[in-house]
C-alpha cells in the first residue's frame, strides 16, 4: 500500500482509494504514479517514463501513451492541469509530484512504502528495518514508546482539519440515461425544467422519457414530421422543436405538447432556438447562412429582430464565423453564446477559435469573457453566477474527448469573475447540454462518431453502387480522399495514434502502412504525373498556424516543402496528359484559384470568385472546374491556357449539394445529398444537371463523399459512423 495526499494505492490490485472509495486504475497510469511518488518534488523526464513503463525495445507511440496515462491520473486524482495540486507538467520535459503532496508518513512493517526526503528512493518498511544499525535500535524502542503519546494530539488536529476544511472540487460522475445502440444514435437531448422528462431524437423519431422510471414513449407527431427538441417551455409540457423539411433540410421552429395534438409553427427559416426562463421570448438562429446572425422573438413567433452578428470575416483569415449554441441567464436578462471562427482549410479536426460571449437581451453590452481554442460548442447557464461549457480535455491529442468546465460570472454585467473549474470529464464529443430550472441537474449528450472509409463497386450493368464494405477497421477517425494509381489502394489520414497521420491501405487488406507522420496531416492528393503524394500539415491546428503543403515521392522518401500559407483552402491535380494543378485561397471576400507546381510552387492566378467557395473539383483532363456554392447549383468553368471562363450554371432539381468529385471518365459528378425524408444518398449528376441516385443509405447512415478509383471500378465512400451516442445526467456539479 502507498499512501499520499488523501489517497491510498494498493500495489497488488492497482486500486486507488479516496477515503475508502475505490477508483480503478490501469497498469500504465499506476506505474507512472508510483514513479512520481518515488521522487517527490523532482522532475521525472519523459525519457525516464518511457524507460520505466516500456523499457528499451518499444514499438508503440510512447508520446500518446504518456499523455493518456497522465490524463487518466488527473481524472482519478481530480487534479486540474491548469491549477495542479498534485502533478505539475513541465512543458516539453516531463512531470513533477508537487512537494506539498509528499511528507513523512507513519508506516507498518511490510505494508506501506514510506516517504523520505526528496531525491531519496523509496524502500519497503522491512528493508529499512533490516538496514537499521544495532546501536540505534534502543533509540527506536524509546521512540515506539513516546511516538503514540505524541501522535494523539496530531491525530486530533488532523481529524478536525479534515472535518472543517473543504475538500478540493472533484469532477462530477456522469450517469447514463439512454442506452441507444449504434444503429439508433441519440442526436438531440434536452431535460425539462422540473427534471421529470428527457426529450430526445434518434433516426427512428423523437421520444419522451420519464427520468424517474425510465419509461419511454415515442412522441406523437404528424407523418413526415422530422423534428429535433431544442428547448423546453417553463411549464414543462410544451417543447420548442426544430423541424427539417425537404432535401434541403430547411429548418423551422415549432411548439409541440407532450400530450400530442396539433403542432404550432412559430417561424420559417429559423432554428435552432432557446426559450427564455419565463417563456416570453425565444432566441434563435436564422438561415440561409446558419449561425451568422442571432435573433430574438416573442414566444408566439412575433416581433422577431436581430440582436447580434458573428464577427466580420473579411481579412480575418477565417473561412466561417458562426454563433452556436445559445443559452439564457436564469433571470432572463442576459444571453450567452459561443462564437466559432473556422480556419481557411476544411480539416477532419475542428480547427476553430472559440470565444464565450454574453450580451443583454437587446444585444447590447457585449462581453467577451473567454477566448480559448479548447472551448467547444455546448453551453448552459444553470446558476446566476456560473456558466458551463464543453472543453477539450487534452490539447496535445487530436482525439475528440471533451469534458465540462465552468466559469464564474457577474450576473448583472456578464463579465467573468473567476477561473475555470473542472466539472466533469468523459470520452467523446459533447453535442449539447441543458439544465433544470433550479440548476441541480445537467444533461448532456455525447457523440462518439467517427469518419470511416468504405469501398463500393460500381455495378457493370446498372452502373449503381453496390453495398459499401468498410475498409478502415480502426475505431478512431479515418478520412480517405485519394486513390493510388493501381486503383486498389487508398490514401487516408487517421488519428489512431493521437495525431492525424497519413496511411495507405489496399482495399482487400485489413491493416494500413504509415506513409507520413507529423502534426495534423490532411488532404492527401496525387500529383498530375502520379509520382508524388501531396498533403498539408499544421504545426498547431488549434491556433491557425501556417499550412505547409508538402510532397513525398510515391516510391518513398523524405517529405519536401512545396509552399506555405495561412489561407490555403483546397488543391487538386488533373491527370496526364494534363499537368495542371489548382490551389485555392481565401483572400478577404474572394476565393482565388492559382496554378501551382509540386516542384516550383505557386503559379499564376486562374480565377477569382466572390464569397466562400470551399468545395470544388477539377476534371481528370484538367479542362473543367466545377464549383459548389452550397445550394442546388453547380457552376462550371472552362480552363484553357491557365485562364478560366464561366461556361454555365446548372440546377440539380430539389437536391441540396455541397461538394462533389468528377467521375473517372469526366462525364459526370458524384456527390452526396438527402432525400425529402432525410436519408443520405449518393448522386450522379451529368453536365446538364440531370441527377440519378446511385446509392441510398439506412436511417442512421450519413455519406460525406464518394471518390472514384482511376479505373472507374470502385468508389471510396466516406461515412460518419456513430457508436455510443447517448444522453448522460450529472446530479451534483
Which pLDDT score, from 0 to 100, does residue 2 have? 67
Distance CA 75, CA 77 (A): 6
Q: Which of 164, 187, 212 is at the close of a domain?
A: 164
Contact yes or no for 172/733 (Cβ under 8 A): yes
Q: Is the pLDDT of residue 126 over 50?
A: no
Decide: helix, strand or coil at residue 1: coil
Give pLDDT, residue 666.
95
* C-beta of residue 242 within 8 angstroms of C-beta of residue 231: no
Pick the more confident residue, 375 or 313: 375
**What residues contact residue 56 under an 8 Å CB cut-off, 6+ apart?**
none
Contact between 404 and 733 under an 8 Å Cβ cutoff? The reply is: yes
Query: Three-state SS string across 364-419, please?
Result: CCCEEEEEECCEEEEEEEEECCEEEEEEECCCCCCCCCEEEEEEEECCCCCCECCC
Distance of CA 42 to the CA centre of its chain: 35
Reduced to 3 states (helix: H, G, I; strand: E, B; else coil), residue 698 is coil
Residues 467 and 498 in one domain: yes
Residue 605 in any domain: the answer is no
Domain end (from 164, 190, 218): 164
How far apart CA 694 and CA 530 sit, in angstroms, is 28
Q: How far is CA 399 from CA 349, 386, 391, 449, 497, in A?
A: 9, 28, 13, 11, 9
Number of domains in the chain: 3
Q: Which residues constitute the domain of residue 264?
A: 175-447
Domain assignment present for 170 = no
Q: Is residue 601 part of a domain?
A: no
Average pLDDT of the segment spanning 443-451: 90
pLDDT at 5: 65
Closest by CA position to 433, among listed 382, 360, 358, 361: 382
Same structural domain, 199 and 145: no
Residues 312 and 430 both lie in one domain? yes
442: in domain: yes
Helix (H, G, I), strand (E, B) or coil at 299: coil
Q: Are residues 159 and 210 in the same domain?
A: no
In contact, 722 and 174? CB cutoff 8 Å: no
Torsion of CA 59, 471, 618, 611, to 10 degrees: -80
Q: In this predicted structure, what is the pLDDT of residue 352?
A: 60
Q: How many CB atoms within 10 Å of residue 153?
A: 9
Q: How much is the pLDDT for 152?
A: 52
Classify residue 472: in a domain, yes or no. yes
Looking at per-residue pLDDT, the higher value among 11 and 503 belongs to 503
Within this chain, do residues 662 and 694 fall inside the same structural domain, yes or no?
Answer: yes
Confidence class of residue 196 from pLDDT cuts 50, 70 and 90? very high
Residue 216 and residue 91 in one domain: no
Cell, residue 650? 446548372
Residue 381 lies in a domain: yes
Q: Kindly state the DSSP code that residue 319 receives in the 8-state scheme.
A: S
289 and 394 both lie in a single domain: yes
CATH number, domain with residue 325 = 2.130.10.10
Q: Which residues pair with 257 in a beta bridge?
A: 238
In a 3-state reduction of DSSP, which class is residue 102?
coil
Based on the fold, state whether residues 669 and 539 are members of the same structural domain: yes
Q: Looking at residues 296-307, what average pLDDT do you find? A: 95
Cell numbers placing 117: 526526503
3-state helix, strand, coil in the chain (%, to 5): 10, 45, 45
Q: What is the CATH number of the domain that holds 121?
A: 1.10.10.10
Q: Is there a domain that residue 594 lies in?
A: no
The Cα–Cα gap between 617 and 525 comes to 12
Q: Quote the cell numbers at residue 292.
A: 451568422
Q: Copy the grid coordinates of residue 65.
A: 501513451
**Structural contact between residues 235 and 279, judged by C-beta atoms closer than 8 angstroms:** yes
Q: Are residues 251 and 324 in the same domain?
A: yes
Helices 27-38 and 46-53: angle between axes, nearest 10 degrees: 130
The percent of residues in the chain predicted with pLDDT above 70, rounded, is: 82
Whether residue 318 has pLDDT greater than 60: no
Same domain, 191 and 292: yes
Is the model's pLDDT at 105 over the cut of 80? no
Residue 404 has pLDDT above 90, yes or no: yes
pLDDT tens-digit map of 494-545: 988 888 999 999 999 999 999 998 878 999 999 999 999 999 998 665 555 6
pLDDT computed for residue 135 by the predictor: 36
Q: Which of 164, 187, 209 is the last residue of a domain?
A: 164
If asked whether residues 112 and 253 sit together in one domain, one would say no
Please report whether residue 113 resides in a domain. yes
Q: How does pLDDT run across 561-612, given as a tens digit for each residue?
A: 999 887 888 999 999 999 999 999 988 778 899 999 998 899 999 999 887 6
Q: Are residues 619 and 657 in the same domain?
A: yes
What's the pLDDT at 125? 33
Query: In the predicted model, what is the mean pLDDT of residues 488-499?
Result: 91
Amino acid at each position: 500500500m502507498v499512501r499520499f495526499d488523501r489517497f491510498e494505492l494498493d500495489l497488488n490490485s492497482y486500486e486507488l482509494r479516496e477515503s475508502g472509495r475505490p477508483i480503478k486504475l490501469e497498469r500504465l497510469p499506476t506505474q507512472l504514479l508510483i514513479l512520481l511518488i518515488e521522487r517527490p518534488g523532482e522532475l521525472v523526464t519523459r525519457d525516464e517514463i518511457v524507460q520505466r513503463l516500456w523499457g528499451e525495445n518499444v514499438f508503440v507511440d510512447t508520446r500518446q501513451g504518456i499523455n493518456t496515462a497522465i490524463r487518466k491520473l488527473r481524472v482519478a486524482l481530480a487534479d486540474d492541469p491548469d491549477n495542479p495540486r498534485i502533478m505539475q507538467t513541465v512543458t516539453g520535459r516531463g512531470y513533477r509530484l508537487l512537494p506539498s503532496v509528499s511528507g513523512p508518513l507513519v508506516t507498518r512493517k511490510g505494508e506501506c512504502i514510506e516517504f523520505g526526503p526528496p531525491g531519496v528512493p523509496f524502500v519497503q518498511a522491512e528493508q529499512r528495518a533490516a538496514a537499521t544499525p544495532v546501536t540505534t535500535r534502543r533509540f527506536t524502542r524509546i521512540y515506539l514508546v513516546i511516538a503514540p503519546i505524541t501522535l494523539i494530539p496530531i491525530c486530533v488536529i488532523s481529524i478536525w482539519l479534515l472535518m472543517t476544511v473543504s475538500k478540493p472540487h472533484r469532477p462530477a460522475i456522469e450517469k447514463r440515461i439512454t442506452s441507444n445502440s449504434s444503429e439508433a444514435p441519440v442526436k438531440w437531448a434536452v431535460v425539462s425544467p422540473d427534471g421529470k422528462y428527457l426529450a430526445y431524437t434518434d433516426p427512428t423519431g423523437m421520444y419522451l422519457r420519464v427520468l424517474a422510471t425510465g419509461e419511454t414513449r415515442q412522441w406523437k407527431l404528424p407523418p413526415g414530421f422530422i423534428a429535433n427538441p431544442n428547448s423546453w417551455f417553463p411549464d414543462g409540457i410544451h417543447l420548442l422543436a426544430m423541424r427539417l423539411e425537404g432535401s434541403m433540410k430547411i429548418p423551422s421552429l415549432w411548439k409541440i405538447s407532450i400530450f400530442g395534438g396539433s403542432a404550432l409553427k412559430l417561424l420559417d427559416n429559423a432554428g435552432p432556438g432557446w426559450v427564455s426562463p419565463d417563456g416570453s421570448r425565444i432566441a434563435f438562429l436564422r438561415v440561409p447562412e446558419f449561425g451568422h446572425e442571432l435573433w430574438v422573438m416573442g414566444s408566439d413567433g412575433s416581433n422577431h429582430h436581430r440582436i447580434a452578428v458573428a464577427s466580420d470575416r473579411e481579412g480575418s483569415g477565417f473561412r466561417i464565423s458562426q454563433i452556436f449554441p445559445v443559452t439564457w441567464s436564469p433571470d432572463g436578462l442576459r444571453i450567452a453564446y459561443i462564437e466559432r471562427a473556422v480556419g481557411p482549410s476544411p480539416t477532419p479536426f475542428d480547427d476553430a477559435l472559440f470565444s464565450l460571449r454574453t450580451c443583454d437581451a437587446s444585444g447590447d453590452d457585449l462581453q467577451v469573457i473567454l477566448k480559448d481554442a479548447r472551448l467547444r460548442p455546448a453551453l448552459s447557464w444553470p446558476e446566476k453566477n456560473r456558466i458551463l461549457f464543453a472543453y477539450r480535455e487534452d490539447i496535445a491529442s487530436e482525439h475528440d474527448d471533451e469534458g465540462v468546465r465552468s466559469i464564474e460570472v457577474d450576473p448583472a454585467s456578464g463579465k467573468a469573475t473567476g477561473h475555470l473549474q473542472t466539472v466533469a470529464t468523459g470520452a467523446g464529443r459533447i453535442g449539447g447540454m441543458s439544465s433544470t430550472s433550479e440548476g441541480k441537474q445537467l444533461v448532456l449528450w455525447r457523440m462518439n462518431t467517427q469518419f470511416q472509409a468504405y469501398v463500393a463497386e460500381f455495378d457493370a450493368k446498372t452502373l449503381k453502387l453496390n453495398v459499401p464494405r468498410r475498409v478502415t477497421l480502426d475505431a478512431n477517425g479515418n478520412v480517405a480522399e485519394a486513390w493510388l494509381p493501381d486503383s486498389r489502394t487508398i490514401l487516408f489520414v487517421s488519428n489512431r495514434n493521437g495525431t492525424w497521420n497519413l496511411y495507405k491501405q489496399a482495399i482487400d487488406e485489413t491493416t494500413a502502412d504509415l506513409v507520413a507522420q507529423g502534426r495534423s496531416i490532411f488532404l492527401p492528393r496525387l500529383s498530375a504525373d502520379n509520382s508524388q503524394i501531396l498533403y498539408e500539415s499544421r504545426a498547431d491546428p488549434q491556433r491557425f498556424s501556417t499550412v505547409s503543403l508538402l510532397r513525398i515521392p510515391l516510391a518513398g522518401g523524405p517529405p519536401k516543402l512545396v509552399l506555405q500559407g495561412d489561407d490555403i483552402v483546397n488543391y487538386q491535380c488533373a491527370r496526364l496528359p494534363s499537368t495542371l494543378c489548382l490551389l485555392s485561397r481565401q483572400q478577404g471576400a474572394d476565393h482565388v484559384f492559382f496554378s501551382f507546381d509540386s516542384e516550383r510552387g505557386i503559379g499564376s492566378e486562374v480565377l477569382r470568385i466572390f464569397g466562400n467557395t470551399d468545395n470544388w473539383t477539377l476534371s481528370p483532363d484538367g479542362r473543367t472546374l466545377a464549383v459548389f456554392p452550397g445550394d442546388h447549383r453547380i457552376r462550371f468553368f472552362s480552363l484553357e491556357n491557365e485562364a478560366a471562363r464561366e461556361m454555365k450554371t446548372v440546377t440539380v432539381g430539389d437536391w441540396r449539394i455541397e461538394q462533389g468529385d468528377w467521375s473517372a471518365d469526366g462525364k459526370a459528378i458524384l456527390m452526396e445529398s438527402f432525400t425529402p425524408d432525410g436519408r443520405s444518398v449518393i448522386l450522379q449528376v451529368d453536365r446538364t444537371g440531370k441527377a440519378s441516385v446511385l446509392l441510398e443509405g439506412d436511417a442512421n447512415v450519413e455519406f460525406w463523399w464518394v471518390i472514384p478509383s482511376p479505373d472507374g471500378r470502385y468508389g471510396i465512400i466516406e461515412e460518419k459512423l456513430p457508436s455510443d451516442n447517448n444522453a448522460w445526467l450529472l446530479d451534483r456539479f
